[in-house]
Amino acid sequence: MARDIILVHGSAHTGECWDLLRPELTRRGFVVHTPTLGGHRGNPRVPLATTMRTYGDDVLAVAQEIGEPSILLGHSMGGFVISEAAERAPRLVSNMVYLTAFVPAFGRSSMTRVAPASPMLAKSSKFHWNGAITFPGDAAKTLFYNRCTPEIQDYAVRLLSPQPIRAAVSSITVTEAALGSIRKQYIECTDDNALPLSSQRTMQSYMPFERVESIDSDHSSFYSMPETLAQVIDRITTG
């Protein structure tokens, strides 16, 4: 039986970042959806009009089109995005997977408060007058793709997008009655230079995760080890 899964990218990325993972999941029976959030390259929206709320709208539009409960997987910032979407429409979500992702605490929270990201993120980013930030290629390779081959690093850097600042710092509110009622798993990455393992483990205490899987990967396992990541996703979402 096919399983719909919506893959939600993180900061400074687009739906293209899943191109190596998509065929691995498809071979395992998933129907894969890879939206690009509005405000990122390929899906224009004014950066200062882009928030977690509009990101949630983007994910819910895909879920509503599917019409049946889907798996939501969020990477990095995408953990907040899928939480925002699931809180608003839990009936459309069968399962949630947080991939080295930010996890909100119940109540109101923001990514800047739940756990520290690497200090290198702020030091490496470049701010722009229109309300977006970008990451230079060499910095991105160190932060996001340190376990990838040079060829994959170059490919990934070419696909990077400006990141709307307002969305990255805006808050969401989640409840035990809605978000808390949905099955959840966490995939932690042990060699993550962007979101340290200690921060990942702090946030795992915020929600009732059914299981936590650990993989020896950088921040972007969908690039560095897509087959392994697909196997883990398949295993933890079955049943």
Beta bridge partners of 174: 107
Q: 173-199 b/e with 16+ CB inside 10 Å = b? A: ebeeebbeebbbbbbbbeebbbbbeeb
pLDDT digits (tens, 9 = 90+) for 88-128: 999 999 999 999 999 999 999 999 999 988 888 888 899 99
Give residue 65's Cα distance to chain centre: 20
pLDDT at 177: 98
Number of compact structural domains in the chain: 1
| The one catalytic residue among 76, 161, 220, 224 | 76
Read off the pLDDT of each residue in 217-229 and give the average, rounded to a whole number: 98
Q: Residue 156: give its domain's CATH number.
A: 3.40.50.1820
pLDDT of residue 147: 98
Overall average pLDDT of the 205-219 stretch: 97
| Region 200-223 average pLDDT | 97
Whole-angstrom Cα distance, residue 22 to residue 30?
A: 9
CA distance 102 to 75: 8
pLDDT digits (tens, 9 = 90+) for 45-89: 999 999 999 999 999 999 999 999 999 999 999 999 999 999 999
pLDDT computed for residue 217 by the predictor: 98
User: Would you state the pLDDT for residue 123?
Assistant: 85
Question: pLDDT of 113-172, one tens digit each?
Answer: 999 888 888 888 999 999 999 999 999 999 999 999 999 999 999 999 999 999 999 999
CA–CA separation, 93 and 88 (whole Å):
10
Asked if 179 and 80 count as a contact pair (C-beta separation under 8 A), the reply is no
Measure the CA–CA gap between 87 and 132, rounded to whole angstroms.
26
Quick one: residue 232, left, alpha or beta (phi over 0 = left, psi -120 to 50 = alpha)?
alpha
What's the predicted TM-score (pTM) here? 0.97
Residue 1 predicted with pLDDT over 60: no
Question: Which pLDDT belongs to residue 84?
Answer: 98
Q: Give the pLDDT score at 117.
A: 87
Q: What are the CA-CA distances from residue 213 to residues 10, 150, 183 (Å)? A: 19, 27, 15
Mean of pLDDT values over 199-217: 97
94 catalytic residue (yes or no): no
Q: Is the pLDDT of residue 36 over 70?
A: yes
Residue position matching structure tokens 């309300």: 131
Q: Which of 232, 132, 127 is nearest to 188 (CA)?
A: 232
Tokens, residue 61: 């539009």
The pLDDT of residue 2: 64
Compute CA 160 distance to the chain's CA centroid, rounded to the nearest angstrom.
Answer: 14
Q: By residue range, what is the domain housing residue 63?
A: 3-237
Residue-level pLDDT at 131:
94
Residues sharing a CB contact under 8 Å with residue 86, sequence separation 6 or more, in sequence order:
72, 92, 93, 96, 178, 179, 182
- What pLDDT is recorded for position 88? 98
Helix (H) or strand (E) holding 145: none
In whole numbers, what is the pLDDT of the chain averaged over residues? 96
